[in-house]
């Protein structure tokens, strides 16, 4: 399906990969006198509207931060809710995503406190959608950027230990190959909602040269138009990657 023309967006410069920090569910709920968990539930509509908007725009890679390695520190009731909620969301939505040509993947640790049943559903969903190529939707779930780097270092150390890799051969590509999704392009654009200006351990290695767009919108209020606004802002930016700007060279 060809991407749609979206006003103010240059279709030839749509970012390859947009990563989103879906933040502000708790505050959205509290402002309405609801429980924090009702904010998480309301975030589902935001996510699937953003997915629609991403597909319409022709985005190939979208990654969403669903649960961080630090989120285990939240009250047990909220953690339990989030585990069950993410599981049910997957079960309810995976056929629809599959029919739309979306490949669903997960990055993060699948060990520790993540219930085995949830891991099974993750694996089943990845297998179901593995051959889809229209867009890859990656859930960062029990994900931490530092954990990802620690896991990469451990895997590299094992190869050194087994005599398959010489320490002086380790370079940036070696590290890239040991991340959770080695084939995933670095995000061009990171969007964070709810007016927070921080990274919160998201894709630390991968965002070395990403553009950041922050919005005050709380995640449950986010819609495809907000995604398109972020892409419009992205298209105004000049990316330099450490070089000099166009026309600035001597
Ligand atoms: C983001 O919303 C969802 C998760 C972190 C799982 P929050 O729950 O962080 O909402 P706020 O930031 O407390 O408003
Ligand atoms: C980041 O949001 C994690 C997710 C959106 C899943 P947090 O709400 O956990 O981040 P902090 O605590 O405000 O930094
Ligand atoms: Mg938050």
Does some domain include residue 241? no
188, 17 contact by CB (below 8 A): yes
- In this predicted structure, the answer to whether residue 97 has a pLDDT above a threshold of 90 is yes
User: Under the phi-then-psi rule, with left for phi > 0, alpha for psi from -120 to 50, and beta for the rest, what region is 189?
Assistant: beta
According to the model, what pLDDT value does residue 245 have? 81
Q: Contact, 71 vs 30, CB < 8 A?
A: no
What SS3 state is found at 248? coil
Question: H or E element: which one contains 66?
Answer: strand 61-68
Say which ligand is closest to the CA of 67. 2
- Residue 250 pLDDT level (bands cut at 50, 70, 90): low
Residue 242 falls inside a structural domain = no
Name the CA dihedral angle for 45, 179, 18, 99, rounded to a multiple of 10 degrees.
Answer: -50
Count of domains forming the chain: 1
**Does residue 22 have its Cβ closer than 6 Å to ligand 1?**
yes
Residue 67 CA, ligand 2 centroid: distance in Å: 8
Domain limits for position 111:
13-235
246: in domain:
no
Average pLDDT on 68-80 reads: 98
Q: Which ligand is nearest to the CA of 81?
A: 1
Contact 58, 3 (CB under 8 A): yes
> What's the confidence (pLDDT) of residue 249?
66
Residue 5 lies in a domain: no
Instruction: Report yes or no on 89 lying in a domain.
Output: yes
Query: Would 90 be classed as within a structural domain?
Result: yes
Q: From the CB of 47, is ligand 1 less than 6 Å away? A: no
Residue of 19, 21, 25 to test ligand 2 pocket, by largest number of atoms within 8 Å of CB: 21
Q: pLDDT, tens digit, for every residue of 15-64?
A: 999 999 999 999 999 999 999 999 999 999 999 999 999 999 999 999 99
Q: What CATH number is attached to the domain comprising 209?
A: 3.40.1180.10
- What is the per-residue burial (b if ≥16 Cβ within 10 Å, else e) of 89-102? bbeebbeebbebeb
Beta bridge partners of 137: 62, 104
Of 65, 67, 68, best ligand 2 pocket probe by most atoms within 8 Å of the beta carbon: 68
For residue 42, how many other CB atoms are within 10 A of its CB? 18
Classify residue 221: in a domain, yes or no: yes
The pLDDT, as a whole number, for residue 88 is 97
| Residue 100, pLDDT score | 98
- Residues noted as catalytic: 23, 71
Q: Look up the pTM and report it.
A: 0.97
In a domain, residue 81? The reply is: yes
């Amino acid at each position: 399906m060809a991407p749609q023309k979206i006003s103010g967006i240059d279709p030839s410069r749509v970012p390859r990969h947009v990563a989103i920090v879906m933040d502000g569910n708790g505050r959205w709920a509290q402002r309405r006198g609801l429980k924090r968990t009702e904010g998480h539930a309301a975030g589902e509509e935001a996510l699937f509207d953003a997915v629609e908007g991403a597909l319409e725009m022709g985005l190939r890679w979208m990654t969403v931060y669903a649960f961080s390695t630090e989120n285990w520190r939240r009250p047990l009731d909220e953690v339990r809710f989030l585990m069950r909620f993410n599981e049910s969301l997957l079960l309810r939505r995976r056929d629809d995503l599959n029919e739309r040509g979306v490949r669903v993947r997960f990055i993060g640790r699948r060990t520790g406190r993540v219930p085995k049943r949830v891991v099974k559903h993750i694996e089943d969903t990845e297998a179901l959608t593995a051959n889809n190529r229209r867009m890859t939707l990656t859930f960062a779930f029990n994900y931490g950027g530092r954990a990802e780097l620690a896991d990469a270092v451990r895997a590299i150390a094992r190869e050194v230990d087994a005599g398959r890799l010489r320490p002086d051969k380790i370079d940036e590509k070696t590290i890239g190959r040991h991340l959770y999704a080695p084939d995933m392009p670095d995000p061009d654009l990171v969007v964070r909602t709810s007016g927070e200006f921080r990274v919160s351990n998201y894709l630390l290695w991968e965002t070395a040269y990403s553009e950041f767009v922050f919005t005050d919108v709380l995640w449950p209020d986010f819609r495809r138009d907000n995604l398109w606004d972020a892409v419009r802002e992205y298209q105004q930016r000049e990316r330099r990657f450490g070089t000099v700007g166009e026309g600035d060279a001597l």
